[in-house]
Amino acid sequence: MMAQRPLAGVRVIEIEALGPVPFCAMMLADLGAEIVQIRRPGKPALIAVPPERDAVQRGRVAVALDLKTEAGRAALQPYLASADLLIEGFRPGVMERLGLGPETLRAAHPRLIYGRMTGFGQSGPLAARAGHDLTYLALTGALHAIGRAGERPVPPLNLVADYGGGAMVLAVGVLAALVQRGVSGQGCVVDAAMIDGASLLMTPCYAMLANQVWADQRGVNLLDGGAPFYDTYETADGRYVAVAALEPQFFAVLANTLALDPALARRQYDRQSWPALRAALTAIFRSAPRDHWAALFEPLDACVAPVLTLQEAALHPHNVARGVHVRDVHGVRPAAAPRFTK
């Protein structure tokens, strides 16, 4: 492993917020950045988990400052003087009203990279509106596409807009700005919006839609549970297995292992055969417990895996061997990613 993490020496000011901003700060901290989180004094924690027990809050120093006061803003100045990045998650205009907008700060600190995280972006008719992950997903087409055919859309936790389209896009943006600053010597403003990032994640679906290999309906396509060879199945003990045998070579292993009717197995991509194939797979997987199927398919390239709980995932042999999770006094949490070698 690298003796020094890639962002060692990079200094970040994180203005306390919910969702994507602290997650982005966590990733930057994992990469070696020095994070100073500015918290509002006397305000209860923004989340149900106390900060000292919240894995997302790792890797930073917290400082309580009331930025609504001159004293609080004055106390922020020494941190700004040495900062490379500032990230904040207020609605548009809030930082400007505090006298801490990007134009003001970058006039005094031209190398500062100013990362802004909002739901709807800094401009547009909805820019000032409140929302949450599900709100933004609803307006991107992503939520429409997730769920069973004929049933209502299903919230995909808050992984898509908050973290995938929000925190990770913000992280990519500020890291790209760091690279650009190395050339120009100047910082910039990074405008990251969850509605933009969630839409970006839908690019493959839009590409398939444009090429008429994706229907603009829920639960009828290859990757949304519409295909019987890319879905989950209940097992005899009420648990589940995930089947992702998309390519013919993987489906052939699946079919041979389960002794599927050869005539049915030959028609993998014939949509007319999908109801019969789904019925056959449903009956087979219900005939034995989940762990029976897990053991049977573990040595095979059939893209079949047990659906694990959070606690089970931390104990899976591959995850243990690779160190995917970390255990400390507060419990189990996912380890930092990605990994770096010399």
DSSP bridge pairs for 325: 334
Side-chain-facing half-sphere of 201: CA atoms under 13 Å: 23
Side-chain-facing half-sphere of 238: CA atoms under 13 Å: 0
What is the secondary structure of 127-194 as a DSSP string?
A: TT----HHHHHHTTSHHHHSS-TTS-----TTIIIIIIIIIHHHHHHHHHHHHHHHHHS---EEEEEH
Work out whether strand 331-334 and strand 325-328 pair parallel, antiparallel, or are unpaired: antiparallel
Angstrom CA distances, 31 to 9, 18, 60, 199, 218, stand at 10, 21, 12, 26, 38
The reported pLDDT for the residue numbered 3 is 64
Which token pair is 23? 């997650």
Report, as residue numbers or ranges, the catalytic residues.
132, 162
pTM summary value = 0.93
- Assess contact for 154 and 147: CB atoms under 8 A: yes
Which token pair is 6? 């890639």
Q: Dihedrals φ, ψ of 70, to 5°? A: -60, -40
Encoded amino acid at 244, one letter? A
Residue indicated by tokens 């999770």: 325
Element (H, E) at 297: helix 290-297
The reported pLDDT for the residue numbered 14 is 98
* pLDDT tens-digit profile, the chain (342 residues): 456 899 999 999 999 999 999 999 999 999 999 999 999 998 665 566 777 788 999 999 999 999 999 999 999 999 999 999 999 999 999 999 999 999 999 999 999 999 999 999 999 999 999 999 999 999 999 999 999 999 999 999 999 999 999 999 999 999 999 999 999 999 999 999 999 999 999 999 999 999 999 999 999 999 999 999 999 999 999 999 999 999 999 999 999 999 999 999 999 999 999 999 999 999 999 999 999 999 999 999 999 999 999 999 999 999 999 999 999 888 899 999 999 987
Element (H, E) at 118: strand 113-118
Distance of alpha carbon 165 from alpha carbon 160, whole angstroms: 6
Exposure string (b/e) for 328-339, b if CB count within 10 Å is 16 or more? Answer: eeeeeeeebeee
Q: Which domains can be identified in the chain, with CATH numbers?
A: 11-201 (3.40.50.10540), 230-307 (3.30.1540.10)
- Assess contact for 35 and 178: CB atoms under 8 A: no
